[in-house]
A and B are shown apart, each in its own frame.
Chain A
């Protein structure tokens, strides 16, 4: 009996080893890309020639029905859900492809992404943010398929934002650009009027003094100026990062700073002090330091408890429903500084992308879906339903909402004046972002000095 037991145990151990694969292959460690390697102009992405594309003509109907699964953060109540339902109708009609949109909670999105990558299973298309620390790094790590052979020249020509998805090292396109949202502030016009604030010249880029002046007026009128729900640390990170470009003349300069400079420097110190000044002055929603982002961030503004909140396209509809159509305005995020050129244009642009995963069994069908998404028809649907800015160059906003129209006109004007501050080029390493999330609440509450915070971030950046 003992022998039987021993044999059984050995069998189990050996089969365990065989399953996990003894004899892992040796791969050379990939060198992390340094910011110094980023070029001003991204490497021209190479795509397949026109001859080979004849077989994958956009009008070709794929006979066999296929299903493509798409994941993005969201919910079934969000406008994105209706948008993907509309896209699904088109893909079914044109290509016999069913688009299965499965919104995921923002809170657990990164965990789902990681689990999918480890298990090499999950959706065919993943939403990921643009830039070096997001989509490009994830592409290098194996989440996405190289898209060069799948993307047509027509798509390259008609859609903007390719620099945020193209690897500056070798020109690999890791995803397709989808959406472009600059950091902006929504404000409650009713509360602004109550506090006697003149917003007739909005939208505009406010200086920090102008912005804090508005906050003080609101506070004096017993109105809470700013939404805040920072348990997870996201809010703090957004405040610090969204306007940080205003210290620099270019995204490259900003990226180099984050990658190479000590955070114990005047730019970061100035930004931190200004951010903490908002907290110490009582401009943030009381108790927001430990409130949950998922349940509070949207509702504080939508229920009229605060006068200003960050703008996200997903929230726009609920804000208007909560406060009343025409009572919600958008203006630019305030600048920490006016010394950099990025401060005079638009800052904190968040670009989102949609990429085909490396384990997708139907990459060509997935590409068909993306072509519909990025087509003029898809772009129109995006603008109409989600009320955000798609990246198809032929898209013209047809919003009825005058505030959205005003904001987009303002965006178009500012982005034509120069380079916009792209959020995707900061956070050269994910350890840094994690440290900011974890530590900024301590700094805000006064339990950590600036020097200690800077040291934490420097140390986090060095963890490889």
Chain B
């Protein structure tokens, strides 16, 4: 009996302490919230306002510059049945499927080499990061010249007798998208390398020493040590890159190909632009933007959930 009473007193006192502790924490959170709220309100208003507007306009019949008409889901139907819509979705898919693995694998190898301080690693760091600080448009212009039918790459191939390798990158609908992808990879890989390197620098070097002793080669080191150690950063990078490839490649497309030849390099983002500014179909442009947002959200959630399961 006494034992039970003692226990209940102890538990009561503990709860009081916990309650006091939680009360203090709640007060702190309230203070944080108060200080952050002005900025949060403004940001929330701007984002929420924009998102609500886009969704609203996507369900309004709004052709050209006439006044807004009645609510209709016609815009979504027209976007989905647009003659080249599937081709355009396929372009997005190809860009994602090719770019992300190439960037991640290349960045992993480069990060590891830089981590092990290969000869000239300082210079390589700068060289890898240089494309990242260039504006997208500048990168697009540079690669437009490099990959032009009579540009640097094809000229070199011709001079060394490898005409068979020359490609009309942006004039050929099969190759144009890979020219675009090459530019994006060149531009983005530096950021991945730096991100992975930063996380790698926190990894215990003894792990690598142990692997060396056990006779592991580079690929095994990456597979069994590097990747598990920096997996969280890889996941983060892939999510960011996924969002970027779906929503932030307009500059490349506009400068390099204008979505052509035909629609072979038109992603959904560029289609939104075409609807709005070429065809003046603003309802369809907004619908296209909503579709892009939903696709991005779904892909990010799928990837996020699957990577969380892997980590667990």
Interface pair A287/B65, CB less than 8 Å apart: no
Closest B residue to A108 by CB, please name it: B277
Closest B residue to A137 by CB, please name it: B64
Q: Least Cβ distance of B244 to chain A in Å?
A: 23
Interface pair B282/A431, CB less than 8 Å apart: no
Known contacts A13-B52, A430-B280; is A287 also within 8 Å of B149 by CB? yes
Closest A residue to B257 by CB, please name it: A231
Interface pair A442/B66, CB less than 8 Å apart: no
Q: Does A260 belong to the interface (CB within 8 Å)?
A: no
Known contacts A26-B69, A290-B170, A447-B173; is A13 also within 8 Å of B48 by CB? yes
Cα separation A111 to B277 with both chains bound (whole Å): 5
Residues of B within 8 A of A1 (CB): 29-30, 33
Identify the interface centre among B48, B64, B257, B282: most chain A CB within 10 Å of its CB: B64
Residues of A within 8 A of B259 (CB): 438
Interface pair B41/A290, CB less than 8 Å apart: no
Interface pair A430/B278, CB less than 8 Å apart: yes
Closest A residue to B276 by CB, please name it: A114
Interface pair A16/B149, CB less than 8 Å apart: no
Q: Does A157 belong to the interface (CB within 8 Å)?
A: no
Interface of A is mostly: helix
Interface pair B45/A441, CB less than 8 Å apart: no
Cα separation A232 to B170 with both chains bound (whole Å): 12
**Cross-chain contact of A117 among B65, B83, B260 (Cβ < 8 A):** B65
Interface pair B65/A118, CB less than 8 Å apart: yes
Q: Least Cβ distance of B42 to chain A in Å?
A: 10
Using an 8 Å CB-CB cutoff, how does the interface string of B78-120 with A read, 1 for contact, 0 for none?
Answer: 1000110000000000000000000000000000000000000
Residues of A within 8 A of B149 (CB): 286-287, 289-290
Known contacts A438-B259, A447-B261; is A141 also within 8 Å of B64 by CB? yes
Closest B residue to A111 by CB, please name it: B277
Q: Does A199 belong to the interface (CB within 8 Å)?
A: no
Closest A residue to B49 by CB, please name it: A16
Q: Does A6 belong to the interface (CB within 8 Å)?
A: no
Interface pair A447/B276, CB less than 8 Å apart: no
Cα separation A464 to B64 with both chains bound (whole Å): 10
Which candidate, A17-25, A319-327, A396-404, is the interface stretch facing chain B? A17-25
Interface pair B69/A12, CB less than 8 Å apart: no
Closest A residue to B274 by CB, please name it: A434
Residues of A within 8 A of B60 (CB): 24
Q: Least Cβ distance of B51 to chain A in Å?
A: 9
Cα separation A456 to B261 with both chains bound (whole Å): 14
Q: Least Cβ distance of B182 to chain A in Å?
A: 15
Residues of A within 8 A of B280 (CB): 114, 141, 430
Known contacts A441-B261, A442-B173, A447-B262; is A29 also within 8 Å of B69 by CB? yes
Interface pair B171/A445, CB less than 8 Å apart: yes
Q: Does B56 belong to the interface (CB within 8 Å)?
A: yes
Cα separation A291 to B263 with both chains bound (whole Å): 17
Residues of A within 8 A of B78 (CB): 463
Residues of B within 8 A of A289 (CB): 149, 168, 171
Interface pair B260/A441, CB less than 8 Å apart: yes
Using an 8 Å CB-CB cutoff, how does the interface string of A151-187 with B read, 1 for contact, 0 for none?
Answer: 0000000000000000000000000000000000000
Closest A residue to B150 by CB, please name it: A287
**Cross-chain contact of A438 among B262, B276, B282 (Cβ < 8 A):** B262
Interface pair B172/A12, CB less than 8 Å apart: no
Q: Does A412 belong to the interface (CB within 8 Å)?
A: no
Using an 8 Å CB-CB cutoff, how does the interface string of B284-306 with A read, 1 for contact, 0 for none?
Answer: 00000000000000000000000
Interface pair B172/A27, CB less than 8 Å apart: no
Residues of A within 8 A of B66 (CB): 27, 29-30, 141-142
**Cross-chain contact of B53 among A12, A20, A233 (Cβ < 8 A):** A20
Cα separation A442 to B45 with both chains bound (whole Å): 45
Residues of A within 8 A of B257 (CB): 231, 290
Residues of B within 8 A of A75 (CB): none
Cα separation A8 to B34 with both chains bound (whole Å): 13
Cα separation A456 to B83 with both chains bound (whole Å): 9
Using an 8 Å CB-CB cutoff, how does the interface string of B46-67 with A read, 1 for contact, 0 for none?
Answer: 0011001100110011011111
Residues of A within 8 A of B170 (CB): 231, 290
Identify the interface centre among B29, B44, B52, B263: most chain A CB within 10 Å of its CB: B52
**Cross-chain contact of B258 among A232, A463, A464 (Cβ < 8 A):** A232
Residues of A within 8 A of B53 (CB): 16, 19-20
Cα separation A183 to B148 with both chains bound (whole Å): 30
**Cross-chain contact of A114 among B41, B83, B171, B277 (Cβ < 8 A):** B277
> Could you tell me which residues of chain B, from 11 to 53, have a CB within 8 Å of some CB in chain A?
29-30, 33, 41, 44-45, 48-49, 52-53
Q: Does B214 belong to the interface (CB within 8 Å)?
A: no
Q: Does B198 belong to the interface (CB within 8 Å)?
A: no
Residues of B within 8 A of A15 (CB): 45, 49
Q: Least Cβ distance of A450 to chain B in Å?
A: 14
**Cross-chain contact of B65 among A16, A142, A445 (Cβ < 8 A):** A142
> Could you tell me which residues of chain B, from 142 to 158, have a CB within 8 Å of some CB in chain A?
144, 148-150
Q: Does A448 belong to the interface (CB within 8 Å)?
A: yes
Residues of B within 8 A of A114 (CB): 276-277, 280
Q: Least Cβ distance of B39 to chain A in Å?
A: 13
Q: When A and B form their complex, which 8 residue pairs have the shortest distance between CB atoms, in order from nearest?
A: A141-B65, A24-B68, A290-B170, A442-B262, A16-B52, A287-B149, A111-B277, A16-B49
Q: With contacts A115-B277, A431-B279 known, what are 18 further pairs, Cβ within 8 A?
A: A13-B52, A15-B45, A16-B53, A24-B69, A27-B66, A29-B63, A114-B276, A114-B277, A143-B65, A231-B257, A287-B148, A289-B149, A289-B171, A290-B148, A290-B168, A434-B274, A445-B168, A456-B83
Q: List 11 A-B contacts (CB under 8 A).
A: A12-B41, A19-B53, A110-B277, A138-B65, A141-B280, A142-B66, A289-B149, A438-B260, A438-B262, A445-B168, A463-B82
